[in-house]
Structure 1
Amino acid sequence: MEHAPIRKPYAGLPSYYAATANRVTERPQLRGEERCDVAVVGAGFTGMSAALELAERGYSVIVVEGERVGWGASGRNGGQLVNGYSRQLSEVRKHYGAEAERQFGEIAREGSDIIRERVAKYGIECDLRDGNSIVGMHDAHMRFLRGRVEEWHRHGYTDVELLEGDAIRKVVNSDRYVGGYYDPRGGHMHSLNYVLGEAAAFEALGGRIFEQSRVTKVDRSARPVVHTAQGHIVANKVLVCGNAYLGDAAPDLSGRILPVSSQIIGTEILGKELLDELFPANAAVEDTRYIPDYYRRTADHRIIYGGGSVYGGIDPANITAKIMPQLLQTFPQLRNVKIDFVWAGNFALTMTRYPQVGRVSDSVYYSQGDSGHGVTTTQMLGRRLAEAIDGQLTKFDVFARLPYIPFVGGKLLRVPYCVIGSWYYGLRDKLGI
């Protein structure tokens, strides 16, 4: 599809997504008292996935959002459907046993399947495309990627294809890589338009969304109450889905994760011919480094290129200066390219890199900390939350029973601890070990 001309960005955000958003709907603030079966805190990927699932099951649901739908990481990310988790399945087996690995593996692709189901069912226009590739820069990366492909095949996902040497050029035409793998059930999309489409589908089923209504407190009694500055919601159950932007609504939950800023630039329109040469398979690409680059082409023939992390959620002073050298290492022929969009957003990191899912009371559930794999994982975990409300706990408990492990050094020292770790693993990447 062709995008509308660039206009005033959605919700004042500077991203490519905000400038090309469709279905821009302003929703009211929460004022006074509202009642419902389930109140959802946060109108991002997790919250809207759960809310839509619950509305489909016949529940009365209200979503309350501090800014606008998709304002946080859900509307600012790389738009990549990367199946799996931030840790490989063999790590699940190592820490939690073979049965946990089997359960994690069984639903490792469910998030991307949910996205495809909803795009088809509700006619969501979000430029969804199939395929993503994880690429390596040296032999150590390729040893890791061969292991990942073997792991995918062991869990029955035999369509994941190892691409060694020049075979990787079928996906990305760059001298930077020595191979990778291709997952046809990965993909990429216009993230903000997807979550806006979920919101529209939810409202069509009778759901209600209140924007510009930051949650200040969640009472966790048997009949929980969600409070904002000008109103409150009395519900039977509450889902807390604020992730890196939860703030003070639930300090005990926000204190368990670390906000991490990731930065992205968007080029000028480069044209179909050039992008067909650089991205022959029109797949999303992510490299294997500890702090990876991730990039893709857009429907209007630009490149969105992201990478870099700042622990603590503080954006660097010059995002273009940080990301542009990486883009030019990948595609040196773009040295004179103009950058039209520059933005950043925070994702929620956990100490274990596995999502945190559970209950803080019999009536209040939460999901957070997708650790950089949120596009697909949030969709799957939104369904887990809805199933739990419906009394189906089997798959919910796969995640809920994982032990919580706090960051080394606590809240005061978690940032320097993570910075030291990133230096160490970054050095290993540079040395090829």
Structure 2
Amino acid sequence: MANTPYPQSYYAASASAVPPRPKLQGEVETDVCVIGAGYTGLSSALFLLENGFRVTVLEAARVGFGASGRNGGQIVNSYSRDIDVIERSVGPKQAQLLGEMAFEGGRIIRERVARYQIPCDLKNGGVFAALNSKHMGHLESQKHLWERYGHTQLELLDERRIREVVACDNYIGGLLDMSGGHIHPLNLALGEAAAVESLGGTIHEQSAALRIERGANPVVHTAEGKVRAKFIIVAGNAYLGNLVPELAAKSMPCGTQVITTAPLGDELAKTLLPQDYCVEDCNYLLDYYRLTSDKRLIFGGGVVYGARDPANIEAIIRPKMLKAFPQLKDVKIDYAWTGNFLLTLSRLPQVGRLGDNIYYSQGCSGHGVTYTHLAGKVLAEALRGQAERFDAFADLPHYPFPGGQLLRTPFAALGAWYYGLRDKLGF
């Protein structure tokens, strides 16, 4: 089987030097086989190892190959659908549990970085930017909602204050979350993988799971080996394929695009984002951006439904960047890439169990950096017999896309067109 390298991205070019890990050959036995070495899989493995489990992780390509190593690098709290939506669709106890967990993922990331000394350029502070009065009203409601669940590191920004944190004339205000922030996402994944191995866990790269043999002691088969386990955690997300057919009907891979400028220099970079916060706007089809440690601007946005790779990523994203920062019109783009995330119809994560021993979490719907770290803890709790928080996610209702797999992409694209029109018209 051919080796799959990292895609050409700024993150891959600036990643910590790590030798490739060996592919699985032969048969091994373990307590838990984790499929996927992205954030969900690595977080699960770490929590399990810290609680005495033997863990083997199978990765089809390289650690952090998927969304975990390609995303915008922003630590954003809550879920793709916020707690108020959850409150309207589930009972009070379930809503309370999910609301309390909405801010835990960011804390887990910081604990991991501190405990395992992970070099990933962690910076504090994230801004939600309002383009109109409707957005501003939403942010005011969001602040009250989050504070009701004990999250208080928030500041509403008026037009003067947002000019102090981002040099963009398009915004009328915003919300600053100091427990938000940004990281080098691939280096975070690589650091977590090293932590897994430091605790005795094993990671096999270039070892795609091809088949799961279900039963009392399930077996995961790869091209050159197999893993016998007591439990399996499926953490492939948008890169899972049809390994578990039950999970495919209620989710859809989608692509998002990211570009990175040439280094801007300290002076220009500081004029754009003086406090070095990351920013995302409040549109349904949102733009997001931040500075890197070497003073480049990373700018992302757009969604390609069905996860097709656009022919010219720079042509899609550069105009968005220049709309925010016209002063960058002469700046060169050094990197452009795409990556897939997994969308659910509800835009809430899918969590559950197949039989007695196959657990899964997927479908972060573009909001995965913090949630995936929480998911690892919740999955590990469930394997230890503490399922209350796992059940709060597992009981969320999920539905297949209208028209099944054949029509899910055009239906989703039609919905995105509608919300994109609303973004442009401001209603």
Q: TM-score range by the shorter chain?
A: over 0.9
Q: Are residues 1:305 and 2:299 paired?
A: yes
Q: Return the offset for 1:218.
A: 1.1
**How does 1:3-82 map onto structure 2 within 5 Å?**
11-82=5-76
Aligned with residue 110 of structure 1, among 104, 109, 114? 104
CA contact 1:244–1:254 (8 Å) conserved in 2: no
Unaligned runs of 5+ in 1: 1-9
CA contact 2:77–2:105 (8 Å) conserved in 1: yes
- Partner Cα separation in structure 2 for residue 369 and residue 345 of structure 1: 14
Q: Return the offset for 1:142.
A: 1.2
Change (3 A) 1:263 1:91: same
Runs of 4 or more above 4 Å deviation: none
**How does 1:17-416 map onto structure 2 within 5 Å?**
17-416=11-410
Aligned to 2:411: 417
RMSD over aligned Cα atoms: 1.1
CA contact 2:129–2:173 (8 Å) conserved in 1: yes
**1:85-141 CA deviation, whole Å, 9 max, x = no partner?**
001111001111333322122111110100100100000000000011111111111
CA contact 2:36–2:234 (8 Å) conserved in 1: yes
Q: Which moved more, 1:403-412 or 1:300-309?
A: 403-412
**1:177-227 CA deviation, whole Å, 9 max, x = no partner?**
111101000110000000000000110111001110111111221111001
Q: How many residue pairs get matched?
A: 424
Q: Return the offset for 1:361.
A: 1.2
Code of the residue aligned with 2:124 in structure 1: it is: D
Scaled by the length of structure 2, the TM-score of the pair is 0.98
CA contact 1:80–1:187 (8 Å) conserved in 2: yes
Aligned partner of residue 325 in structure 1, secondary structure? helix
Aligned partner of residue 210 in structure 2, secondary structure? strand
**1:357-392 CA deviation, whole Å, 9 max, x = no partner?**
010110100000001111000000011011111111
**1:35-79 CA deviation, whole Å, 9 max, x = no partner?**
000000000010000001111111110000100100011000000
- Partner Cα separation in structure 2 for residue 229 and residue 140 of structure 1: 53
- Partner Cα separation in structure 2 for residue 159 and residue 63 of structure 1: 36
Code of the residue aligned with 1:331 in structure 2: it is: F
Unaligned runs of 5+ in 2: none
CA contact 1:289–1:429 (8 Å) conserved in 2: yes
- Partner Cα separation in structure 2 for residue 45 and residue 12 of structure 1: 16
CA contact 1:243–1:254 (8 Å) conserved in 2: no
Percent of aligned positions that are identical: 53
- Partner Cα separation in structure 1 for residue 398 and residue 62 of structure 2: 30
- Partner Cα separation in structure 1 for residue 350 and residue 421 of structure 2: 29
Code of the residue aligned with 1:341 in structure 2: it is: Y
